[in-house]
Structure formats: structure tokens, C-alpha cells
Amino acid sequence: MKRLKVLEMIDKPSLGGGQAVLLALARNLDRTRFDVSVCAGGGGPLEEEVRRAGLTFHPVEFRKNPAAGPGRTLVRLLASQSFDLLHTHGGVAGLYGRRAARRAGTPVVVHTIHGIHYLHYRNPILRRAAVLLERILSRSTSAVVCVSEADLAQARRHRLAPAGRLRLVRNGVPSVEAASDPDRAPRGRALCSDLKLRAPVIGTVARLHRQKGVEYFVEAAPDILRRHPEAFFLVVGGGPLESRVRERIERLGLTERFILAGERPDALDLLSAFDIFVLPSLWEGLPLVLIEAAGFGKPIIATDIDGSREIIRDGETGLLVPPADPAALARADPAEADARTRAAPGVEESLVAMTREAIRQGAAGLAFDVVAGSRGDRLRLAEVHAPVHLWYGAADPIGTLLDEEVDAQAEIDRMVGYYGTPRFFYTVEVSDEDFDCELGQVWTLTNSRYGLDAGKPLQICKIIRRPIAGSKQITLRG
């Protein structure tokens, strides 16, 4: 079987949330079926991680200035490599990548929105222009993926793409190993010691950008210190506001207590040593760092915004406070956050379960192959890109393979078998030209991962004709 050539694209070579999702997806796509490459700015930690994973990396300099943009370079890259699918992440890569794909004739183009940042532009003219530009680009995009329910609702409200092309695929972390590594916490404590930090450490992992609201965290620190004079503060991350944030720390006399560690490859090690995790963002898509903090069992204080409130249950798995309000952030006493989260019945189990659910929802956290016993060469393989099933293929536009009438989260829970004996539902798309499907036919699960048993009989229990010519959707039930 010919492997499909997939190019994952993002603009910056740093290791932020979008890059983490891209990297997890690139690492975990089945290499017997997909030939995966990555395109981003060169010379950063993302390039190092991609090459370490044994994947091809194409360095391209992305600039926001259209006159100096990478358009021609990307057209040459896409055309010369004959990629079957381009998957862009974020606005800059989405702009240049999708325009280039149209000129190069790339068959399938998927765009993931990691937070709809332009809806928060202060200039209303730029905000409106960005919305119009996305509507134009989406016309030649096979699917536009949102990472949270809130973003999906916003995309529909602003008509960023035709309704049939909008998809929901929540962010997730690729494995539980980060939280279960017994050496991580000692490494984190040693790193904090090197930074001259002593417990309790109240910290965040965030880019120093207006979106992340780190300045409000700095402004809350003096009030927190008045109640907890032993506290230290740490921010892991760099960005355009670094000098301004550093000046504010100096002006408030916090230089010995508030440390800016910059962008670091050992961010998770440092996170493991936090006593309290804070995320003061003004807006988010679906922040991976909250899932990671929950995985470490950290007491969490976050702002009550879209995305974050889809992960944190106020008073149960963390505290939520109004955004852009340092006084409210300071009033969310770290000791109270610790007590409330730890005192809540079953909160530790809830945090673990929530994190494992997020892991299994992740863009790279699940991969189930369903093939039809004797017809394995005829049935298109379905990649579970939970909680929405997406099929990466070049013949037709990428499509949602899970019927909307089904409770997607409940089905994913059953599929991984995490809540007891699973009741499997698989939805795949087949072509009328390939073979006929009939209700009641029994097929066989011949290849599976993550604890499912190969050889399980699966019966066709639903057939839905798709709007795409010559195709239909079938649901298999075990």
C-alpha cells in the first residue's frame, strides 16, 4: 500500500502548545501508512525534536509581512514533494500554507486553529479583515479543526468556514509517562534549586505575550507575598513582552522572588516541582499546560475563560478567577486552592481520570486500525483522531467519521475500555465503487492498539450516505 505523504506545518520553531500538538501528531501517525514531514522556521527546539524522532524537517522562514513571505518557497516545496495532505497549525502557517497548497495542487488541506487569536485584536478593522481572510482561505480548505467547544462555537458564529467543514478535535497530551516518571520530580527540584527557588513555588509555563496575562500574575505577587512571605514565583517561557515583564518585576521590588526562566526544553521538569500552578490567560484555545499540570496533580488557579473552563471545574479540580484582575488572582489564595482541590471528594482520582481522558482525546493519543477481515485491502483504514474521527486520505476531502448523533466522548471512553467492559463503535468511510455494505455483515478487527483485542467481530449496525459523491459511512458495533 502506498504511504500517504503528509506535511505538518507551523510558523515558529519554538515548543509552544501548537508545536506540541504538531509534534505529537507527527511522531504518532502510523509510519507504515503515512510518510510524515514537518515544515517550520529552522534553528529552534522544534527542529531538534523532529529530527530526533527520525522525521524529515523542511526549514522555511515565515514572516508576517506578505511581501517577504515564504509563498514561492512553499509552492516549490509542496509541488516538488507531491504531498497528499497539508496540515497547517495557527494563523501564519494557515495563511501561507493554504495559499501555496492551492497553487501547488495539494489534494487535501487541513487547518487547525489553536485559539482564534484575531478575534482579540484591539483594532476592529484588522479583526474584521482577519475574519474575512479566514472565510476566503476556508473555501479551499478540506477541514478546519477547532481545539475547544468554545472555539467551535465562535467559528460558527463568525462563519469562519462552511459549517460542514468545521471539526472539533480537542487538544491532549500524548502519554501519561510525563506524570509517572519517578525521576522527574527530583530533577525539577534540582532545577529550582539552581534558580535559587525554595518552596513553595507558584509558577506558570507560558509565552510572554499579551494573551497569557503574565503581567497580571506579576502584579498579584506582592499581595500574595503579604499573606505568604515564604513564596517564590517562576515563569517558564519567553516572548515579545519579556523586557516589559522584567521591568515590572524590578519596579515592584520582586527580583529576588520572581524569576523569569525563559524558554526551556526542561519545562515539564520545572512544572513537576511547582507547588501551585497558575494560568492567568486572557483567552485560550484549549491549553495543554493545564492538562499537564492536572496530570502532575498540582493545585491550579486559572482564569475563567473559554478553553480553561472546559478543563477546570471551579472548586473541584482548581480555582477559576476573572481574567485581567490581579486582585482576584491574589485573593485566590494558593493555600485555599491547595486545600479546596485536595479536600474535594475523589479529587485526585478525578484529576487523574480527567488527564487520562484528555490524553486519550489527544490528536496523537489514539490510533485504532479497523479492517474488514478478508477485505483488508479494500476498506479504508480509519485513524481515530478523538473525539472526532478523522480520515487522512487524498481521494476525498478529510471527513468526520463519527456520526454526530453518537455521544463521542462516551464512545471514546468505551473504546479505550477505561470505564469497564467496552462496547465498541467504529465509524469508517467506504466507497460505493469498492464494495457493497449491508446491515448485519460481520467484519473482524485485525489490528489494534491500546488494549483492544484483535480478532473481535464487528457488525455493521448503521449505514449513512455521505454528501461526497460515491461514498458512504458505516458504523461497526461489537
- pLDDT, residue 351, reads 39
Q: Using the predicted structure, report yes or no on whether residue 401 has a pLDDT greater than 60.
A: no
Domains assigned to the chain: 4-168 (3.40.50.2000), 177-359 (3.40.50.2000), 373-477 (2.40.30)
- pLDDT, residue 167, reads 85
- pTM value? 0.70
- pLDDT, residue 382, reads 30
Write the pLDDT tens digit of every residue in 180-219: 577 888 898 899 999 999 889 999 999 999 999 999 999 9
Are 170 and 357 in contact, with CB atoms under 8 Å apart?
no
For the chain, give the mean pLDDT.
Answer: 75
Query: Considering the chain, what percentage of its residues have pLDDT values greater than 90?
Result: 43
- pLDDT, residue 34, reads 86
Write the pLDDT tens digit of every residue in 90-116: 999 999 999 999 999 998 899 999 999
* Half-sphere exposure at residue 311, Cβ-oriented, CA atoms within 13 angstroms: 32
- pLDDT, residue 396, reads 24
More confident residue, 458 or 420: 458
More confident residue, 369 or 110: 110
- pLDDT, residue 117, reads 92
Q: Using the predicted structure, report yes or no on whether residue 452 has a pLDDT greater than 50.
A: no
- pLDDT, residue 471, reads 56
360 confidence band (pLDDT: 50, 70, 90): very low
478 confidence band (pLDDT: 50, 70, 90): low
398 confidence band (pLDDT: 50, 70, 90): very low
More confident residue, 391 or 55: 55
> Ranked by mean pLDDT, which of 287-291, 336-340, 450-454 comes out on top?
287-291
**Closest to 173 measured CA to CA, from 267, 253, 86, 236:** 267
- pLDDT, residue 87, reads 92
